[in-house]
Amino acid sequence: MTHCPIRVRFAPSPTGYLHVGGLRTALYNYLFAKKHGGTFILRIEDTDRDRFVDGALESLVKSLEGMNIVPDEGVFLLDDPHTPARVASRHSETYPGVSEVGSYGPYIQSERLPIYAQYAEQLIASGHAYRCFCSRERLDLLRESEMAAHKASKYDKLCLKLSEDEVANRIAAGEPSVVRLNVPEDRGDIVFHDLVRGDVTIHAGNVDDQILVKTDGYPTYHLASVVDDHLMEVTHVIRGEEWLPSTPKHVLLYEAFGWDTPVFSHLPLLLNPDKSKLSKRQGDVAVEDYLAKGYLPEALINFVALLGWNPGQGSTKEIYTLAELALAFDFAQVNKAGAVFDARKLDWLNAQYIKALPIVELVEKASPFLREKEFFTSAQDNRKTDEYVTRVTEIARERLTTLAEIGDEQRFLFVEPVVDSALLPWKGNSADTTTEALVRAKDILADIPDIDWTRQRLGEILLAEAGEKRGDFLWPLRVALSGAKQSPPPQDIAWVIGKDATLLRIRTSIRLISE
RNA sequence: GGCCCUAUCGUCUAGCGGUUAGGACACCACCCUCUCACGGUGGGGACAGGAGUUCGAUUCUCCUUAGGGUCACCA
């Protein structure tokens, strides 16, 4: 164990928010590291200057930490209050506020340019790569003709024929060029092992002379990730299935450098309901959107973990903490087929987490959502206290799918309801019967001492008073208190709004029905 | 189109040669019940098709079909 510690990395590019697919990839990396006492690295792959999005890196790191997937090594934010104090090994030159931990840095690829240039030169010197001056126009034409001929589109190695002198002259003349991988034509089959898919075989003849360094001097993903994974001593490359077709190129690069290949694990894709690769347009895909809608990080983690993995062995367990996942995780149980992201099951899981949360924590997490609602803002001050919010939360919790919904179906706990007198009588009862029930309720409730004004006692008292015909008694009372066709039981409403408001609402309805 | 990957209820999945093919979400019914929600009980619902291997295939092999991914100076 000490001679080969496991090291894995999550390596997003800062082009936007954290995607749920990215979250799952990060999670599996994290779980695998935790399971084996390894190291989880966060590396940033920002080698495309055109796709750079301001603030994306910060958003990515923040989302990850919001999900409690905290890297052991690599990039972190200096000012994030959720980040435990860590000793920075260096600060980013390009991203203010971003710092790093670990001795394999920089962990931001744009800050490693000289390293890639050096390894690219090494590849050229050893004949594993070559300069290419072909114009984009020529490449487009080439691609079109090959596609038309129903062949794989590959570069034709034209520039490989250039003499050293000619290459030197053209570079000296300032002509732009790229560096291409020289795929050996006699290489035969490339076989690599994948923890999810077993042995994968691709014929080298189908592999293109991939561009490794662009005209602007930046490396492409293929070069940068191979060099970094090697230098950072990454043992397991765990990434999405979309990388499977380019893995042979990476294997070729490891061979060209004379390096050992890491173990690969290509995770099944997360899918839209129509089975295409999960994308925006067919629902939310940003982790931050789910958080904003009141999904709990624990529920999202739990849900996403079970998309493509399960503990097997006949387990029927559905609810897992992060620690339990780390304990149970195993690539032998990772599925090969893509998984449809079914938001309804996420809803169910989230509701389960909401129901299981200690009330104090639930209030803490839900009240920010409640406090920004219009009906809350305009409510009386005595309905804005922590104690009141706690009672509301208790009533609402078993009806919540997401935290953001809190109070939506219980506005009458904050605002006086408008009662429709036609709704007051229970199943064809007369106005008199209804009035009698309400008067009886008012008298009973008025006599209840403060100490008995609890959710449980109110329930006992009202149920006892209702006797056999509960509807006659409870329905008008419930409508008087809520104004709604559907609501929590009257004793719960009474408990939350308190005696004064309860009696007031009953009197209002009595007056209403006798008009 | 080339290459690659994949295939159990609508969805997530268990299964790793012999099972009444199990669970969860969703759906339906019933129960609980003043309504809603929660909860409980039950129900319908799947091995894509065809060959082989085998005493025996959901499970192993091949083919077909279907779906997906990828073929950028993006990752």
DSSP letters for A371-391: HTSHHHHTS-GGGSSHHHHHH
**In the numeric block, which tokens belong to residue A218?**
């930046």
In a domain, A330, yes or no: no
Helix (H), strand (E) at residue A509: helix A490-514
pLDDT at A4: 75
3-state SS assignment for residue A252: helix
The answer to whether residue A315 is domain-embedded is no
| Count of Cβ atoms closer than 10 Å to residue A502 Cβ | 26
- Of all nucleotides in the shown strands, which has a C1' nearest the CA of A479? B35
A144 and A250, same domain (yes or no): yes
* A280 catalytic per annotation: yes
Q: Nearest nt (C1') to A222 (CA)? A: B75
The overall longest dimension of chain A from CA atoms, in Å, is 107
| Mean pLDDT confidence for A499-508 | 98
Mean pLDDT, residues A365-389: 97
A241 CB-to-strand B distance under 7 Å: yes
Structure confidence at residue A148 as a pLDDT band (50, 70, 90): confident
Residue A344 lies in a domain: no
Residue A393, pLDDT above cutoff 70:
yes
Q: Is the pLDDT of residue A404 over 80?
A: yes
Asked if A31 and A159 sit in the same domain, the reply is no
Q: Are A17 and A288 in contact (CB under 8 A)?
A: yes
Nucleic strand B within 7 A of Cβ A216: yes
Q: Is the CB of A348 under 7 A from strand B?
A: yes
- Average pLDDT in chain A: 95
Provide the CA A168 to C1' B46 distance, Å, integer: 65
Q: Are A111 and A89 in contact (CB under 8 A)?
A: no
CA of A299 to C1' of B32 (A): 29
Co-location of A191 and A60 in the same domain: no
A342 is a domain residue: no
Residue A147 — very low, low, confident or very high, per pLDDT cuts 50/70/90?
A: confident
Quote the CA–CA distance of A339 and A277 in Å, as a whole number: 10
**Cis-peptide, bond into residue A106, ω within 30° of zero:** yes
Within 7 Å: CB of A86 and strand B? Answer: no
Across the range A72-89, mean pLDDT stands at: 80
Whether residues A235 and A297 fall in one domain: no
pLDDT at A83 over 80: no
Q: What is the C-alpha separation between A121 and A134, in angstroms, rounded?
A: 19
CB of A145 lies under 7 Å from some atom of strand B: no
A313 touches strand B (CB under 7 A): yes
* Shortest-distance nucleotide from A477 CA to C1': B34
Report, in ranges, which bases of strand B sit under 7 Å from a protein C-beta: 1-8, 10-16, 22-26, 33-39, 67-75
Catalytic residue among A35, A62, A280, A427: A280
In a domain, A182, yes or no: yes
Q: Are the C-beta atoms of A257 and A119 separated by less than 8 Å?
A: yes
Q: What does the alpha-carbon distance between residue A480 and residue A466 come to, in Å, rounded to a whole number? A: 16
- Asked if A345 and A353 touch (Cβ cutoff 8 Å), the reply is no
Q: Average the pLDDT over each of A135-144, A369-378, A403-412 and give the range with the smallest value.
A: A135-144
> If you measure CA to C1', which residue is closest to nucleotide B15?
A314
Percent of chain A surpassing pLDDT 70: 98
Same domain, A257 and A119: yes
Helix (H, G, I), strand (E, B), or coil: what is residue A437? Answer: helix
Strand B contact residues in chain A (431-470), C-beta within 7 Å: 466, 470
Whether residue A224 sits in one domain with residue A288 = no
**Residue A256 and residue A190 share a domain:** yes
Nearest nucleotide, C1' to the C-alpha of A351? B38
pLDDT at A84: 61
> A229 and A149, same structural domain?
yes
> Do A101 and A153 share a domain, yes or no?
no
Indicate which CATH number applies to the domain containing A431: 1.10.10.350
Higher pLDDT pick, A282 / A243: A243
**How many other CB atoms sit within 10 Å of the CB of residue A305?**
23
For the four alpha carbons of A192, A197, A198 and A201, in that order, the dihedral sign comes to negative
Is the domain of A364 the same as that of A401? yes
Determine whether the distance from the CB of A401 to the nearest atom of strand B is below 7 Å: no
The integer distance in angstroms from the CA atom of A270 to the C1' atom of B21 is 26
Nucleotide nearest to A400 (CA to C1'): B37
Distance B26 C1' – A298 CA (angstroms): 22
Assigned domain for A179 exists: yes
The pLDDT of residue A78 is 86
Q: Confidence class of residue A481 from pLDDT cuts 50, 70 and 90?
A: very high
3-state secondary structure at position A208: coil
Q: For A227-273, write each residue's pLDDT tens digit.
A: 999 999 999 999 999 999 999 999 999 999 999 999 999 999 999 99
- Alpha carbon A18 to its chain centroid, in Å, reads 7
Domain-located, residue A490: yes
Residues A244 and A156 grouped into a single domain = yes
Determine the nucleotide nearest to A399 by Cα–C1' distance. B37
Q: How far is the CA of A245 from the C1' of B71 (A)?
A: 9
Q: Phi/psi at A23 (nearest 5 deg)? A: -60, -45
At residue A93, the pLDDT reads 86
CATH number of the structural domain spanning residue A192: 3.40.50.620
Residue at A146: amino acid letter: E
Alpha-carbon distances of A477 from A430, A471, A506, rounded to whole Å = 15, 10, 7
CA of A252 to C1' of B56 (A): 45
Q: How far is the CA of A247 from the C1' of B54 (A)?
A: 38
- Through-space separation of residue A139 CA and nucleotide B47 C1' in angstroms: 47
**What is the secondary structure of A96-164 as a DSSP string?**
TTEEEESSS---BGGG-HHHHHHHHHHHHHTTSEEEE---HHHHHHHHHHHHHTT-------GGGG--H
Same domain flag for A94 and A223: no
pLDDT score recorded for residue A1: 42
Pair of tokens at residue A304? 């996403």
A413 CB-to-strand B distance under 7 Å: no
Q: Is the CB of A243 under 7 A from strand B?
A: yes
| Of A216, A246, A267, the domain-final residue | A267
A381 in any annotated domain: yes
If you average pLDDT over residues A160-172, what whole number do you get?
96
- Determine the pLDDT at residue A496: 98
Give mean pLDDT, residues A205-226.
96
Chain A 472-511, CB < 7 Å to strand B:
474-475, 478, 485-491
Per-residue pLDDT tens for A328-360? 999 999 999 999 999 999 999 999 999 999 999
Asked whether residue A389 carries a pLDDT value surpassing 60, the answer given is yes
What total of structural domains would you count in chain A? 4
Instruction: Report CA dihedral (A388, A393, A399, A402) to the nearest 10 degrees.
Output: 130
Nearest Cα to Cα of residue A438 among A465, A409, A410, A411 = A465
Domain range holding A389? 357-415
**Which CATH number do you get for residue A389?**
1.10.8
B69 nearest neighbour residue (CA to C1'): A242
Which CA distances in Å does A158 have to A131, A180, A188?
10, 11, 21
Which percentage of chain A shows pLDDT scores above 90? 87
Residue A283: DSSP 8-state:
S
Question: What's the average model confidence in pLDDT over A459-472?
Answer: 94
A189 beta carbon < 7 A from strand B?
no
pTM of the model: 0.96
Q: What is the mean pLDDT of residues A160-189?
A: 94
CA of A393 to C1' of B36 (A): 16
